[in-house]
Amino acid sequence: MKYEGYLIDLDGTMYKGKERIEEAVEFVKQLEKEGIPYLFITNNSASTRQQVTERLQNFDVPVTPDHVFTSSMAIAEFMKQDKLGKRVFMIGEVGLQEAIERNGFEFVEEDADYVVMGIDRRLTYQKLERACLEVRKGARFLSTNKDVAFPTDRGLVPGNGALTSVVAVSTGKDPIFVGKPEPIIMDMAMTKMDLPKEKVLMIGDNYLTDILAGMRAGIDTLLVFTGVTTTLEDIPPEERPTHTIESLDLWDIHL
């Protein structure tokens, strides 16, 4: 079927580390030329929407900040809709900080309405200690994503899911995860797309995040073998993506 909008993952789909994936860049250029809407969805909570935009622009991808939706933006929107309160204790970096501030929340060290966790490469015991204390006191526990590891030039390193587990294990409280593969971020993205679910396709390289996110949100999926998942061998036949492809230059947007 012909899709009228596309949700697109970044790392492993649009680029690998510092190298762009040429076929993906050309694919997005075609979408832009044809006037087909697209939105990049990322679990990256460390970078601001502007920083993500600039990185894509450096890869010659046609993109504006309106084309970018991060897990930080999703978690701020979740709190805005939740309306529990405005006081937030945050573990995270500038991307999460900016998204929360932009939505009118204030950062506090105690008596928080929310404890929000994103990747924090300057994490200290004191931050974890405060997060646990606030969760135990009743603050709603939120986390941007459950990725336990992410790839770097040095290999796999601890992801936000691993950090979040420290607070979850200590307090006995499970967080609400907002990013992929949870449907929360997908439902918010669909609202921004303003298209019926059956007219939108989710594209990603990681079955356990991108593809499961689309499936859980009731959206057709396209697994591209340019990143994490490169075979269907370990995926149950009844849970496979709608489409698979070697690279995006083989996908015809007119079909």
Identify the three-state secondary structure at position 13. coil
Instruction: Say what the pTM is.
Output: 0.93
| pLDDT tens sequence across 70-126 | 999 999 999 999 999 999 999 999 999 999 999 999 999 999 999 999 999 999 999
- Same fold for the pair 5-43+180-250 and 85-177: yes
What is the fold of 5-43+180-250?
Rossmann fold (3.40.50)
- Whether 219 and 195 have beta carbons less than 8 Å apart is answered as no
49 backbone dihedrals φ, ψ, rounded to 5° = -60, -35
What pLDDT sits at residue 172?
98
| pLDDT tens sequence across 198-230 | 999 999 999 999 999 999 999 999 999 988 888
**Could you tell me the residue ranges of all domains in the chain?**
5-43+180-250, 85-177
Question: Domain spanning 85-177: which CATH class is it, in words?
Answer: alpha beta
94 backbone dihedrals φ, ψ, rounded to 5° = -60, -35
User: Is the CA virtual torsion 157, 214, 244, 47 positive or negative?
Assistant: negative
For 105, how many CA atoms within 13 A lie in the half-sphere containing its CB? 31
| pLDDT tens sequence across 19-42 | 899 999 999 999 999 999 999 999
What are 29-35's contacts with CB under 8 Å, separation 24+? 29/61, 29/62, 30/253, 31/6, 31/253, 32/62, 34/253
Catalytic residues: 9, 11
Rounded distance, CA 133 to CA 126, Å?
11
Q: Can you read off the two tokens belonging to residue 164? A: 């979040």
Cβ-based neighbours of 146, under 8 Å, separated by 6 or more: 160, 161, 164, 177, 179, 181, 182
- Whether 100 and 88 have beta carbons less than 8 Å apart is answered as yes
